[in-house]
Structure 1
Amino acid sequence: MGRIIAIANQKGGVGKTTTAINLSACLAESGKKVLTIDTDPQGNTTSGLGVDKDELKNTVYELMLDECTIKESLVKTEFENLDLIPSNVNLAGAEIELLGINEKEYILKNAVDYIKDDYDFVIIDCPPSLNMLTVNALTTANTVLVPIQCEYYALEGLSQLLHTISLVKERLNENLQIEGVVFTMYDARTNLSLQVVENVKNNLDTTIYKTIIPRSVRLAEAPSHGLPINKYDSRSTGAESYRMLAKEVIDRKDL
């Protein structure tokens, strides 16, 4: 059975989508079958994997409103071993449209249950807020991976996310665990980055991945070309870092 990892942090700009795109691509590169699910109405994971989000008939929005099956919403990306359930701006209205639906917290889970055995990993990119889409992702997932930016307010909002995760675990998904924390946008030239890493290590009782994702121009450029970093610049530090993170994720035996 595939491992389902939700990548979540309600704080925007922490490298969540960058991590969803590049972790997916590096897992696929290592021979794992991967499904990436974009549940962010901005659709940045969709376009970052080379799919035109404005030319789609079926997306996660149609899937959640039961207007298509999960197989009809699947898109084969141009990258080997990597499939996508895309998103676009239509998803922004889903919150309101789901209001009257019974067991709306389980819509995504019920759909993914049909195909999860076809994949080694299912990676879900969550929106940068704690809304019904995020709750659906957390109800579907086995674990939550939390990207944290190496900046002064890194821990701000994290307690809220951890509280939401524990609520979901208590009421909706008793098997949910925290996959761990991954540091992003690390700048080795600043003392601040080092202080943030130490601060989080001292204050968080959870797994912290050894791989730290550096701040990188190449990583920032790659999505505008519709490519993950391992295809855009295979030898860059960003590509190497995400390969190392993918290896760490694959090697986790305690989940």
Structure 2
Amino acid sequence: MTNKTSAWRPVVPVANMAGSAGKTTAAVTLAALLAESGREVLLVDVDAQSNATSWLGIDPDDVEISSGDVLLKRARLEEAIVETSTPRLRLVPATPGLDGDAIALLSETGREMRLKLALRACPDDVDVIIIDCPGSMSVLTVSALVVATSVVTVTAPSSKELEGIPKMEALIEEVAEAHNPDLELGAIVPCIVPPATAGRLYTDALAALQEAYGDLVTPTVRKTVRAPEAMSHHETLPAYAPRDPVTEDYRAVLASLEKAGVL
């Protein structure tokens, strides 16, 4: 359980180390559900794929000031923040040029601290910061972990995806030792989970996950076409499919994260 003070503001990267397992879907949907509940949310996109940015209706090709500009001190955080069509949800957008910015960042002094320093200028009314990280270890992921209050990772029920969790744990441990001593893995979200009838491969993987990580594992998020449909319409799941089972899955995940003190 995270120790909260009156000034405590959760900063939660959603990250994984084994490819795409619903990372951006989790980041965007949790941010939208938090905003729906009345909290002011800032979503920071530091993934060069820019999927969170485009999902929220911002064309990455039209972005004038990106998260990369903020990290390289070409612009201030407040200049990068844009409104979205979701009330109470603001965005620091990414562009495909972020890959080049990450390379440039490697030669900068204090590169791991850049996001933490930038977020000091976060508007006072923001209650929660969600960070959509790249799906791999990079200076951008490390920067997000440095400023994090807790980390959420996602996994699909397959051996390849599950192998990414120990890698994430190792990275969290390294960042905690060097920069952020209170950092810990706050939750593991099983995403893109097929029905039990799909076979023992998936049910066995989920059972192994539960056995290894216990209370860190949140309720599961089912496999569905609703997420890509919502993304193609540039609508969040709560807006596009408010009563769909997958949206309810994410409501259960959010309740689990709130109960654990992650959000």
TM bin, normalised by shorter chain, reads over 0.9
Tell me which residue corresponds to 1:207. 216
1:75 aligns to 2:88 (yes or no): no
**Does the 8 A contact of 2:18 with 2:160 survive in 1?**
no
User: TM-score by structure 1 length?
Assistant: 0.95
Does structure 1 residue 248 correspond to structure 2 residue 261? no
* Equivalent in the alignment of 1:224: 232
What do the CA deviations read for 1:181-229 (whole angstroms, capped 9, x no partner)? 11101112223322111101222366111x2100001122111111111
Residue 51 of structure 2: aligned partner: 44
Instruction: Identify the range of structure 1 (150-159 vs 130-139) with the bigger mean alpha-carbon deviation.
Output: 150-159
Are the aligned partners of 1:21 and 1:45 in contact in 2 as well (CA < 8 Å)?
yes
Compare the two structures and name the one with the higher strand fraction: 1
Question: Quick one: distance in 2 between partners of 1:118 and 1:173?
Answer: 24
For residue 149 of structure 2, what is the aligned residue in structure 1? 142
Q: 2:104 aligns with which of 97, 102, 105?
A: 97
Asked if structure 1 preserves the Cα contact closer than 8 Å seen for 2:47 and 2:98, the reply is yes
Q: Does 1:195 align with 2:212?
A: no
**Alignment partner of 1:7 is 2:7:** no
Preserved contact between residue 145 and residue 172 of structure 2 (Cα < 8 Å)? yes
Indicate how the Cα distance of structure 1 residues 254 and 244 shifts in structure 2: closer, same or farther if over 3 A, else same. Answer: closer
CA shift at 1:116, angstroms?
Answer: 6.3
SS of equivalent residue, structure 1 residue 241: helix
Q: Is the 8 A contact 2:106 2:139 kept in 1?
A: no
Question: Hey, what does 1:124 align to over in structure 2?
Answer: 131
Aligned length: 254
Question: 1:206 & 1:161 partners in 2: Cα distance?
Answer: 17
Root-mean-square deviation (Å): 1.6
What CA deviation, in whole Å up to 9, does each residue of 1:138-177 have, x standing for no partner? 0111111010101232321321211111000001111212
Q: Which runs of 4+ in 1 moved over 6 A?
A: none
- d(CA) in 2 for partners of 1:253, 1:165: 18
Q: Which amino acid aligns with 1:236?
A: D
Match of 1:176 in 2: 183
Q: 1:165 to 1:254 in 2, by over 3 A?
A: closer
Rounded Cα–Cα distance in structure 1 between residues aligned with 2:123 and 2:252: 24
Is the deviation greater in 231-240 or in 15-24? Answer: 231-240
Amino acid in the other structure paired with 2:252: M
Distance in 2 (CA, whole Å) between partners of 1:175 and 1:183 is: 24
Gaps of 5+ in 2: 1-7
Report the equivalent of 1:63.
Answer: 70
In structure 2, give the amino acid aligned to 1:128: G
Tell me the equivalent position of 1:17: 24
Change over 3 Å in CA distance of 1:206–1:107 after alignment to 2: farther
Distance 2:202 2:164 in 1: 18
Q: What is the aligned counterpart of 2:115 among 108, 112, 133?
A: 108
Whole-Å separation in 2 of the counterparts to 1:254 and 1:6? 11
Structure 1 residues 116 and 10, CA gap change in structure 2 (3 angstroms): farther
Secondary structure of the structure 1 residue equivalent to 2:220? strand
Q: Which runs of 5+ in 1 are unaligned?
A: none
Per-residue deviation, 1:248: 2.3
Structure 1 residue identity aligned to 2:246:
G
